[in-house]
């Protein structure tokens, strides 16, 4: 198989671009605050630039990550990942405001990326709940590894809409203030907006064009526990399977991993499931486990892309950000999660995401020279 590398990354979060977001995480900053969109609650929102009444906020998110993205060869395959794309356009139509309802579909996001970056390939739209962009990155890595593509651009984005907010609210899944991943007093998640663009290339393309790369995707895995439509399997069986697949594909053992970038939503059952899975796969040796959702909110289908990009930043900085919002770690997580940053002694990070329907996904990221 071909080796798979990451050449370029861009993100947009409630704390800014990649550099701004990472610096904010190290400071313990948060972008979570009151929503000002006609519905009450708290979330980490960023697509609040002046927006025409008939335009979805998804346009703003895409422009933030693509406006200065380097030019790509036309044979680059576009992948788009999202849960609900520009579903806020449907809300506008329901209020009698003319809007393009096509933006509410994942296929529109793919088409937009393809046109915006002048790419020839029809590409692939991925919608796999909150693991969407991790699944898309895994699929991109597989296409490159097996020689079916030399260059893949993975773009992911999701907005905080009333439809999405009310959906999570109806499940009583939202924290009334700000989420507290892995905290003993956690009571729910905080929604967030975000986007990422990640350029994945083959080793052959790197050699041909003598381009620099910033990370290697050495392993990936995905599994569905199929236990419940919204809740994870309590024993973590799906995440355990995804993690073992990713490590096996990467030719790595659990001891090679320096840190785990968890999904860490702040919901009672998700966080407990993850700790159970991590202990099953990695054993009792404490290694940093962290979540960025206390700072950025849960960016839904964009979470995996945003978090993979931040994991790459951690690899280069040699530091793991604190888990913002954490005050009193639950007993099972004590010694693993921290409200302080920590050093990264092994330059390998596993990043995981889970979603409704029991879907779980994992990526193994490392520095190119590893």
Active site residues: 130, 263, 298
Three-state SS at 181 = coil
Helix (H, G, I), strand (E, B) or coil at 38: coil
Compute the distance between CA of residue 322 and CA of residue 340 in angstroms, rounded to an integer: 4
- Specify which residues 153 forms β-bridges with: 78, 199
In this structure, the number of other CB atoms found within 10 A of the CB of residue 69 comes to 16
CA 192-193-194 angle, to 5 degrees, is: 125
Check: CB of residue 295 under 8 Å from CB of residue 189. no
Q: Residue 24: what are its φ and ψ, rounded to 5°?
A: -65, -40
CA distance 78 to 67: 16
Residue 150 phi, psi dihedral angles, 5° rounding: -100, -25
Sign of the torsion angle spanned by Cα atoms 87, 93, 98, 100: positive
Residue 60 tokens, joined: 């703003």
């Amino acid at each position: 198989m071909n080796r798979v590398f990451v050449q370029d990354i861009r993100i947009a979060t409630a704390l800014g671009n990649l550099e701004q977001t990472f610096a904010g995480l190290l400071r313990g900053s948060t972008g979570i605050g009151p929503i000002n969109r006609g519905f009450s609650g708290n979330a980490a929102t960023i697509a609040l630039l002046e927006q025409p009444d008939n335009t979805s906020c998804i346009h703003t998110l895409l422009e933030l990550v693509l406006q200065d993205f380097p030019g790509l060869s036309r044979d680059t395959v576009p992948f788009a990942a999202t849960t609900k794309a520009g579903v806020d356009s449907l809300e506008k139509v329901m209020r009698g405001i003319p809007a393009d309802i096509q933006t509410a579909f994942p296929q529109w996001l793919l088409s937009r990326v393809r046109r915006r970056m002048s790419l020839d390939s029809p590409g692939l739209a991925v919608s796999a709940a909150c693991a969407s962009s991790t699944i898309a990155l895994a699929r991109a890595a597989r296409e490159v590894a097996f020689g079916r593509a030399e260059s893949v651009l993975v773009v992911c984005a999701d907005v905080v809409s009333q439809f999405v907010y009310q959906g999570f609210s109806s499940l009583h899944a939202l924290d009334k203030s700000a989420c507290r991943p892995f905290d003993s007093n956690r009571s729910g998640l905080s929604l967030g907006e975000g986007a990422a663009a990640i350029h994945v290339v083959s080793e052959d393309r790197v050699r041909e064009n003598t381009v620099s790369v910033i990370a290697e995707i050495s392993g990936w895995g995905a599994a569905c526990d199929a236990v419940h439509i919204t809740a994870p399997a309590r024993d973590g069986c799906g995440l355990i399977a995804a993690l073992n697949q990713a490590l096996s594909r990467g030719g790595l053992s659990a001891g090679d991993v320096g840190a785990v970038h968890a999904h860490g939503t702040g919901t009672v059952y998700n966080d407990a499931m993850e700790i159970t899975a991590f202990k099953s796969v990695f054993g009792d040796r404490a290694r940093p486990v962290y979540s960025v959702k206390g700072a950025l909110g849960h960016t839904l289908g964009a979470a995996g892309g945003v978090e993979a990009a931040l994991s790459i930043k951690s690899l280069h900085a040699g530091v793991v950000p604190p888990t913002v919002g954490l005050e009193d770690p639950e007993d099972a997580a004590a010694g693993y999660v921290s409200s302080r940053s920590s050093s990264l002694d092994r330059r390998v990070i596993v990043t995981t995401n889970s979603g409704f329907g029991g879907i779980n996904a994992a990526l193994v990221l490392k520095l190119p020279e590893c």
